[in-house]
Amino acid sequence: MLYQDAHQWCAADQKRVMFFGMSGLGKTHMSTTLRSTGNWYHYSIDYRIGTRYMGELIVDNAKFEAMKVPFLRDLLLSDSIYISSNVTFENLSPVSSYLGKPGAPADGGIPIIEYRRRQEQFRHSEIQALEDTEYFADRARRLYGYSHFICDTGGSICEWINVNDEKDPLMTKLSNICLPVWIKGDDAHTNALVERFDKAPKPMSYQPEFFLKC
Each residue's pLDDT tens digit, 137-175: 999 999 999 999 999 999 888 888 888 898 999 999 999
Mean pLDDT over each residue of the chain, to the nearest integer: 90
Helix (H, G, I), strand (E, B) or coil at 11: helix
As a whole number of angstroms, the distance between CA 46 and CA 34 comes to: 18
Query: CB–CB of 17/174 below 8 Å?
Result: no
Q: What is the pLDDT of residue 181?
A: 95
- pLDDT for 214: 59
Task: Calculate Rg over the CA atoms of the chain.
Answer: 19
Is 189 a residue whose pLDDT tops 80? Answer: no
Q: Do 48 and 132 meet the contact criterion of CB atoms below 8 Å apart?
A: yes
**What single letter denotes the amino acid at residue 44?**
S
Residue 201 scores a pLDDT above 90 = no
- Mapped onto helix, strand or coil, the DSSP state of residue 210 is helix
Q: What is the pLDDT of residues 29-58, one digit of tens each?
A: 999 999 999 999 999 999 999 999 999 999
Contacts of 42 (CB under 8 A, 6+ apart): 31, 32, 34, 35, 89, 150, 152
Cβ atoms of 75 and 121 within 8 Å: the answer is no
Task: List all residues 6 or more positions away from 10 whose beta carbon is below 8 Å from its beta carbon.
Answer: none
Which class does domain 6-212 fall in? alpha beta
Q: Tell me, what's the pLDDT at 192?
A: 67
- Rounded to whole angstroms, the Cα distance separating 61 from 127 reads 22
H/E run at residue 183: strand 179-183
Confidence of residue 86 (pLDDT cuts 50, 70, 90): very high
CA 120 to chain centroid: 14
Query: Per-residue confidence at 73, pLDDT binned at 50, 70, 90?
Result: very high
**DSSP letter string, 44-107:** EHHHHIIIIISHHHHHHHHHHHHTTSHHHHHHHHTTS--------SS--HHHHHHH--BS-GGG
What's the pLDDT tens digit per position in 98-127? 999 889 998 889 999 999 999 999 999 999
